[in-house]
Chains A and B, each alone.
Chain A
Amino acid sequence: MEQTNTAVLSVRNMSMNFGGLRALSEVDLEVRQGEVVALIGPNGAGKTTFFNCITGIYTPTEGQVLAYPRDGKEKRINGMRTNLVCELGMARTFQNIRLFPSMTALENVMIGRHCRTKAGILGAILRGPGTRREEQDVVDRSYQLLKKVGLEQVANEYSRNLPYGAQRRLEIARALATDPFLLLLDEPAAGMNPQETLELKEMVIKIREEFQVSVLLIEHDMKMVMSLSDRIYVMEYGRVISTGTPAEVSADPQVIRAYLGEESDA
Chain B
Amino acid sequence: MAASSILNNLKKSAIASLWLAFLTLPIMVIRVDTVEKTVTWRWMHLAYMLAGSFVLALFWHFMMDRRDRGAAARAAGTSQAASALGRVLENPKLVKPLLAMGFLVAAVFPYVFSMYQTNILISALIYVVLGLGLNITVGLAGLLDLGYVAFYAVGAYAYALLNMHFQLGFWTVLPLAAIMGAFFGLLLGFPVLRLRGDYLAIVTLGFGQIVRLVLENWSSFSQGPSGISNIARPGLFGINYSVEQATTYIYYIMLALVILTIFITARLKDSRIGRSWLALREDEIACQAMGIDNTKAKLMAFALGATLASVMGAVFAAKTTFVNPASFTFMESAMILAIVVLGGMGSVLGVILGAFLLILLPEYMRAFSEYRMLIFGATMILVMVFRPQGLIRAKRKVYKINTEAA
Contact = CB atoms under 8 A, between A and B. Distances in A.
A92 interface: yes
B50 interface: no
A121 B273 contact: yes
B272 A139 contact: no
Interface residues of A, number: 51
Nearest to B273: A124
Interface stretch (B127-135, B213-221, B289-297): B289-297
Question: Would you call the interface of chain B mostly helix, strand, loop, or mixed?
Answer: helix
A30 B332 CA distance: 58
Contacts of A237: none
B154 interface: no
A161 B79 contact: yes
Nearest to B296: A83
A87 B275 contact: no
A125 B267 contact: yes
Given A86-B290, A98-B285, A158-B79, A111 B396 contact: no
Contacts, number: 131
Interface in A111-150: 111-112, 114-117, 119-121, 123-125, 127, 131, 134-140, 143-144
Given A107-B396, A124-B274, A156-B80, A100 B282 contact: yes
A100 B278 contact: yes
Interface in B250-297: 263-264, 267-268, 271-276, 278-279, 282-283, 285-294
A100 B283 contact: yes
Nearest to B265: A125
A111 B273 contact: no
Given A121-B273, A124-B267, A106 B290 contact: no
B40 interface: no
Contacts of A91: 289-291
A199 to B, nearest CB: 24
B278 to A, nearest CB: 6
B403 A143 contact: yes
A142 B290 CA distance: 14
Given A57-B285, A94-B289, A135-B272, 8 more contacts: A83-B294, A92-B289, A99-B283, A99-B286, A100-B286, A116-B291, A121-B268, A144-B405
What are the 10 closest A-B residue pairs judged by CB atoms, nearest first?
A115-B291, A124-B271, A86-B291, A100-B282, A98-B286, A140-B405, A82-B288, A139-B399, A119-B272, A143-B401
